[in-house]
Amino acid sequence: MSHSSKKTILERLDAGEILIGDGGYLFEMERRGYVAAGVWTPDVNVEHPHAVEGLHQEFARAGSNVLQAFAYHAVWSRTEGRNEINESACRIVKKVAAQYNCLWAGGLSPTRIYGQGGSKKDVQEYFKGQAEIFVRHDCDFLIAEYFHSSEEAGWAVEVLKETGKPVLASLCITSQGDFKGVPTDECAVRLVKAGADVIGVNCKFDPQESLKAVAKMKEGLEKAGLKAHLMFQPLGFHCPDADNKHGYLALPENPFALEPRQLTRWDVHKLTRSAYDLGVRYFGGCCGFKAYHIRAISEELEKERGAKAESSDKHQPFKPMYSSTFGHMERNEEYWMNMKPASGRPFSPSYSKPVKSTLNP
Amino acid sequence: MSHSSKKTILERLDAGEILIGDGGYLFEMERRGYVAAGVWTPDVNVEHPHAVEGLHQEFARAGSNVLQAFAYHAVWSRTEGRNEINESACRIVKKVAAQYNCLWAGGLSPTRIYGQGGSKKDVQEYFKGQAEIFVRHDCDFLIAEYFHSSEEAGWAVEVLKETGKPVLASLCITSQGDFKGVPTDECAVRLVKAGADVIGVNCKFDPQESLKAVAKMKEGLEKAGLKAHLMFQPLGFHCPDADNKHGYLALPENPFALEPRQLTRWDVHKLTRSAYDLGVRYFGGCCGFKAYHIRAISEELEKERGAKAESSDKHQPFKPMYSSTFGHMERNEEYWMNMKPASGRPFSPSYSKPVKSTLNP
Amino acid sequence: MSHSSKKTILERLDAGEILIGDGGYLFEMERRGYVAAGVWTPDVNVEHPHAVEGLHQEFARAGSNVLQAFAYHAVWSRTEGRNEINESACRIVKKVAAQYNCLWAGGLSPTRIYGQGGSKKDVQEYFKGQAEIFVRHDCDFLIAEYFHSSEEAGWAVEVLKETGKPVLASLCITSQGDFKGVPTDECAVRLVKAGADVIGVNCKFDPQESLKAVAKMKEGLEKAGLKAHLMFQPLGFHCPDADNKHGYLALPENPFALEPRQLTRWDVHKLTRSAYDLGVRYFGGCCGFKAYHIRAISEELEKERGAKAESSDKHQPFKPMYSSTFGHMERNEEYWMNMKPASGRPFSPSYSKPVKSTLNP
Amino acid sequence: MSHSSKKTILERLDAGEILIGDGGYLFEMERRGYVAAGVWTPDVNVEHPHAVEGLHQEFARAGSNVLQAFAYHAVWSRTEGRNEINESACRIVKKVAAQYNCLWAGGLSPTRIYGQGGSKKDVQEYFKGQAEIFVRHDCDFLIAEYFHSSEEAGWAVEVLKETGKPVLASLCITSQGDFKGVPTDECAVRLVKAGADVIGVNCKFDPQESLKAVAKMKEGLEKAGLKAHLMFQPLGFHCPDADNKHGYLALPENPFALEPRQLTRWDVHKLTRSAYDLGVRYFGGCCGFKAYHIRAISEELEKERGAKAESSDKHQPFKPMYSSTFGHMERNEEYWMNMKPASGRPFSPSYSKPVKSTLNP
């Protein structure tokens, strides 16, 4: 099948299709031993390309319609080797996307320049440089994501629109507003006015809070008489105790003791249904989302999508299980969806106090 | 390097070397979409050999000195395709072991026949059939593991010893005793008398309980004037609330909502130190143990082993981290080792009530 | 000392004095076996007057400057015996107030008539009937409390002002607003315009939420250029998980399993300090507040008040303790104020889901 | 009714009657402001006799068949005023016992002399001095309680038996054994051989653990072919996390932040039923047991006892309740007995680490 014959993401969304992106690469690669927390750079694309390919494949098998190049993010400061890393990232993602008939996208994220007070011109110049490689590799669309400032995100969208590719824009904000105090509904309006085709929320806050933020965005668009598709790519960790500025980043457990907060597949089922009912049609996950979480999205929407994830062949959660020492266990959907999983940690509390930021108290 | 020139596991342990095995394949493969929970068979060796290779590599990079063939376990009932699966499992593990200079082992586990009252002769016949393929592929040693009955484990050890390979034997029992009520110290004596070179505990119970079981085994050997190396390959989940017969298998969260129970790397550090102090010299993990848990074993014992895991190059947990929205975080070893991680789940309790077994109430 | 020579509550508050009311009678009397939950009527005033006297004395000894007659509340439907009960309640409270040199007050609470849509005239007529007995017994002031509607509270205040007594008005509302959606700052304005001398919040919601509500009231008064003293008589139970309409009443634990939510004395210390810093000068507690909680208020403000509770002679929390089996324990203020007390209940969660109201969903 | 005509406790127990003692005085009096924690002496008998009378009455109304003089315990060191306190304690308890037709008892507890290595003769001399006042006031029986050493308890029993009164002996020990390592079953044998008519367990450990200890005692008696009635007066706080030497005394929450551990009435129902099924016929509670807990014992055994507590007239827990803001709540026995009450404290864990004893590490 020739690439040009593929329907674009917008054609598909406009036609009412539900699309599923992929999950989080950084946390999973850190746990697999290929990415260093703190530095967080995707050298693995060059050092162990098979490992990246393997994770892309897991997502594709789990039902992802879209894979994202595991490229170097603007936010990381080191510059040596970046081109080589991103070249490799593009080659790998294209290969797996072709293999599984997925779309693929390149992503932009917040810049340090903006944080340091850089001008719109400087920031946009930077974004142009970032986007070039994805366009040269003929990505299917571009995503501006992880933005905690709607202003910077808007600037990114403007740059990305000039490439002629569809543009998705996703903010890391609560239902209250962005990092600079712009209310969430106004953030939505700003993104769409800047040209974004799909807008939404990803990462950093409790998934329930992120969902509220998407709802607020939808309200904003409705009030302004604007239209855009909605996307939702939440964090893979429960953090209702996070502060509304730094989210899970300020939790004392970040990044090496977040395990008890990890979403179950059933948490994802419930989130996905709520997001779908709200009108979200582009789904995915961010930090902490693994292949089985993506599969949970796919399985929750199996009827609506009329499609089944490849790895759902390895998933029969409601079939009785047997163990030689234990015997049969029959557990149905109701059982799992109402499960309040115990932590096995009686010395641990439910909530932590976020630590103070050294930058933005 | 020719295989025959490698030192055997016993030569290495006798020389005082600390050895690290690998982690759990089943749970991780289930989450990656390659193994179906309930069936739990490793068809992935044939269907997606690269995925198995990838996970072996993660463990090898994390510091494993030993990789175990991800072979078909006796406990699984289906028989078609088993040979093909195990052939592939052996080829894959040998390839990665050679690449990372690891030893590799084949494992045996409880049979259904035994559970149904089969004779010693029948059970041992079955074990012989199981072991054949590993010996034919010239494994470095054999492991009898997951056994909840010391009698069946002893029978397995006898069979394995006849192959001329070193034999490790690992039970899934508490510090009280095995499934049939044999006290843990006596279980240890039985295994060593049957010929086991290394004995210990793996899986199923809370890691702290498993460690107590190893301590009890050590006591048993000392009282009996016997000697054997000690191994410890605990479960990757906290479950102090498990019953002392079925362990985590009877928890209501098993197998699809165990996330909040997942050990952190710091839990593994502490367990490893305690086990080392007890005299354990063969380490590893069972269900729920991922590459970063194996790396934690390696890093805890870095000085004692005089060796560093390859993926420790991607791990600087006590270096200050920086995030553009949050700023610097300096967190030292004391910080992490004293962390009581919150679950972010205020509606979840710490403990569950185990469900009733349909086989062994 | 003749009654008329006592300074009034307003003279005292105007002079900058900090006043402390009493705690909750109903819950404590239920637990002592003198009041039936569900019915909640204070028949005990007639049936066991000494028990009421004893509880008044505990509060007085704990530092209460004000005792409230444990009278029949408007909200209770039964009418037979009401006069007799209230006569006895007045006699008892007057006796103890005289003994401990306290002020005493009579209280009014929401009526059923209002809930059923009764007219202002009818509701106020009812209030008049209620207040009569307290005035006849020459109470020091009157309190309108437990009101979840600022409209009904305002009607009550108007009636009470006509008696010539000082009037305190206290709402059971969150920081968002009252039961009918009137914002909390506007509620404050309404009460003061109706004539209330002291306004504030009591009962029903998490104490932290009640404190936020008082802060909101203060804001409302400031914006409106109005003045009133602030009062704070929170619930004695933690319930951050309560809904913002029915508060703890809708918790599944109410009323017979609230124990784990009980405030410690240290919780009260912290609340009192926060309330004081906010400007509150009339303190006390509602359901669940016991004598030792009232003493905690008194001890937190001992310096500011220049007075010590009588029962503080029996309280030396920071003196080392000795037990014959345990030995010495030295625990200072910092220790107790930072304590996060464990529940000893690993099967219990932190939060409950409120149940649905049958009246106001 | 003349005192001599009352049936003795042994006649009643021998006739199959179930008897209920009272609850804990110290903690309750501390919270009411009459006893200082740390010192823990019952000066209140002299200072505020009405307060002691009031608490006795609450217990009597709640179903207690036996009231215990709130006397000065041997363990407290101060000696001045002791006689006066104990005289008053006896007068008060006799008055309430007569009023409610209860038996009354005097109690002995561990001595400092014993802890300091005093001889049997010295310790028994001390006990004689202690018991004299209760005998002079013609108590119905004597209790040796709070003992963590079965040896000292045995010495006390010998002394008490010489008075001719029935003797109850209650230890503060786990199911493992006493403070000096004597196994629990042997402790039971020792007490009965020393002359105890009723033996059992009270205070200090988790109530479930105390119940296991009673079970172990029963086993001990059966093995030894001895007979005695069984008593059970557990702690009013959950503390499965307590160590097995110092119990709740070493918990970091003791004594000023134990609130979240407080038993509910339903916990008492379940404990009482289990204890009854085990054969316990003398019930009661220790530190933390309030009147409504005693009533719960009475209500759980209402049928078996054929008697109803006076304050059960104020308790209709399964009758629908009504609140004006909330509406009807219908909650049956099953609802309450299966309640896992939330703590409303998401920052608090379930378990604490006991602190180190300065005396007995």
Mean predicted confidence (pLDDT) in D142-146: 97
pTM here is 0.94
Number of domains within chain D: 1
Report yes or no: C137 and C162 within 8 Å, Cβ to Cβ: no
**Structural domain contains residue A309:** yes
* Averaged confidence pLDDT in chain B: 94
Sites in chain A below the pLDDT cut of 50: 1-4
**Looking up tokens 């959907």, which residue turns up?**
A333
Selected residue with higher pLDDT from B49 and C318: B49
Report d(CA D140, CA D274) in Å as an integer.
Answer: 28
CB-CB contact of B52 with B282 (8 Å): no
Would you list which residues of chain C are within 8 Å, Cβ to Cβ, of chain B?
A: 241, 346-353
What's the pLDDT score for residue B2?
40
Residue type, A275: A
Q: From the centroid of its chain, how far is CA A70?
A: 12
Number of helices (H) and strands (E), helices first, in chain C?
A: 14, 10
| Nearby residues of C39 by Cβ (< 8 Å), 6 or more positions away | C76, C78, D316
Residue A310 to residues A100, A106, B53, C319, Cα–Cα distance (Å): 10, 24, 20, 67
Q: How far is it, in rounded angstroms, from Cα C8 to Cα B134?
A: 94
Does residue C116 or residue D200 have the better pLDDT? D200
What pLDDT shows up at residue B325?
64
Query: Cβ–Cβ of C346/A349 closer than 8 Å?
Result: no
User: Could you tell me if A285 and A263 are in contact, meaning their C-beta atoms sit under 8 angstroms apart?
Assistant: no
What pLDDT, in 10s, does the model give residues D1-41?
344 467 999 999 999 999 999 999 999 999 999 999 988 89
pLDDT on residue C38? 86
| CA distance to partner chain B, nearest, from residue C348 (Å) | 5
In the predicted structure, residue B241 carries a pLDDT above the cut 90 = yes
Question: Collapsing DSSP states into helix, strand and coil, what is residue D30?
Answer: helix
Half-sphere exposure of residue C215: CA atoms within 13 angstroms, side-chain side = 14
**CB–CB of B350 and D346 under 8 A?**
no
User: Which DSSP string do the residues of A274-299 spell out, in sequence order?
Assistant: HHHHHT--EE---TT--HHHHHHHHH
What does the alpha-carbon distance between residue C359 and residue D302 come to, in Å, rounded to a whole number?
35
pLDDT of D154 higher than 80: yes
C159 in a domain, yes or no? yes
Give chain D's radius of gyration (CA, Å).
20
Chains that touch B (3 or more CB pairs under 8 A): A, C, D
Q: Is A151 helix (H, G, I), strand (E, B) or coil?
A: helix
DSSP one-letter string for B217-250? HHHHHHHHT---EEEEE--SB--TTSBTTTBGGG
Question: Which chains sit next to A, with 3 or more Cβ pairs under 8 A?
Answer: B, C, D
Q: Is the pLDDT of residue B326 over 90?
A: no
Distance from CA of D353 to the nearest CA of A (A): 8
Residue B187 annotated as lining a ligand binding site: no
Report the percentage of chain D scoring pLDDT > 90.
87
Cross-strand bridge partners of residue C169: C144, C199
Q: Identify the pLDDT of residue D321.
A: 75
Residues 6+ apart with CB under 8 A from A178: A148, A149, A150, A171, A184, A187
Tell me, yes or no, whether B96 lies in a domain: yes
Of the candidates D160, D171, D168, D172, the residue with the CA atom closest to the CA atom of residue D135: D160
Q: Number of Cβ pairs closer than 8 Å across C and D?
A: 286
Q: How far apart are the first and last CA of chain C?
A: 52
Provide the shortest C-alpha distance from residue C221 to chain B (in Å).
36
Distance CA C243, CA C222 (A): 28
DSSP notation for B245-303: TTBGGGSTTTTTS-GGGBPPHHHHHHHHHHHHHHT--EE---TT--HHHHHHHHHHTHH
Cβ neighbours of residue C118 closer than 8 Å, sequence gap 6 or more: C111, C126
Question: B161 to each of B122, B158, B195, C124, how far by Cα in Å?
Answer: 17, 5, 7, 94
> What is the C-alpha separation between C308 and A157, in angstroms, rounded?
66
Average pLDDT over residues D59-71: 98
State whether C350 and A346 contact (CB < 8 Å): no
Collect all residues from A whose CB is shorter than 8 A from any CB in C.
340, 346, 349-351
What are the φ and ψ backbone dihedral angles of B329, each rounded to 5 degrees? -130, 120
User: Does any domain span residue B191?
Assistant: yes
DSSP at C30: H
Cα Rg, chain C, nearest whole Å: 20
What CATH number does residue C235 fall under?
A: 3.20.20.330
Provide the pLDDT for residue C255. 95
Contacts of B349 in chain D (CB under 8 A): 340, 350
Tell me the per-residue pLDDT of C44-67, one tens digit each, with 9 for 90 and over. Answer: 999 999 999 999 999 999 999 999
Q: Note the ipTM here.
A: 0.96
Residue appearing with tokens 């600390």? B18
Residue A76 three-state SS? coil
Residue to test with chain C: of B206, B261, B351, most C Cβ within 10 A: B351
Would you state the structure tokens that stand for residue C6, as one six-digit string? 């006592």
Taken as a whole, chain B contains a residue count of 361
CA dihedral C212, C215, C219, C221 (to 10 degrees): 120
| Stretch B324-348: mean pLDDT | 88
Domain of residue C275: give its range.
Answer: 9-338
Q: From CA C150, how far away is CA C176, in angstroms rounded?
A: 13
Q: Tell me whether residues B61 and A313 touch, CB distance under 8 A.
A: no
Helix axes D184-194, D207-224, angle to 10 degrees: 60
**Residue B306: inside a domain, yes or no?**
yes
- pLDDT tens, residue by residue, A169-225: 999 999 999 999 999 999 999 999 999 999 999 999 999 999 999 999 999 999 999
Per-residue pLDDT, averaged over D82-93, amounts to 95
Q: What percent of chain B has pLDDT over 70?
A: 95
Maximum alpha-carbon separation in chain B: 67
- Measured between beta carbons, the chain C residues lying within 8 angstroms of B352 are 347
CA distance A216 to A186: 9
Chain D positions in Cβ-Cβ contact with residue A348 (cut-off 8 Å)? 349
What is the structure's pLDDT at C3? 46
Task: Report if residue A4 sits inside a domain.
Answer: no
Residues of C within 8 A of D32 (CB-CB) are 58, 290-292
What is the per-residue pLDDT for A2?
Answer: 40
**What are the residues facing C56 on neighbouring strands?**
none
pLDDT tens profile A6-54: 799 999 999 999 999 999 999 999 999 999 998 889 999 999 999 999 9
Answer yes or no: is A3 within a domain: no
Residue linked to tokens 């005792």: C67
In which band, very low, low, confident or very high, does the pLDDT at D278 lie, cut at 50, 70 and 90?
A: very high
| Yes or no, beta carbons of D326 and C358 under 8 Å apart | yes
**Chain A residues near residue C349 by CB distance under 8 angstroms:** 340, 350
Q: What is the pLDDT of residue B80?
A: 77
Q: How many CB atoms lie within 10 A of CB B71?
A: 24
Q: Which residues of A touch D (CB under 8 A)?
A: 241, 346-353
pLDDT of residue B358 exceeding 80 = no
Min distance B301 CA to chain D CA atoms (Å): 27
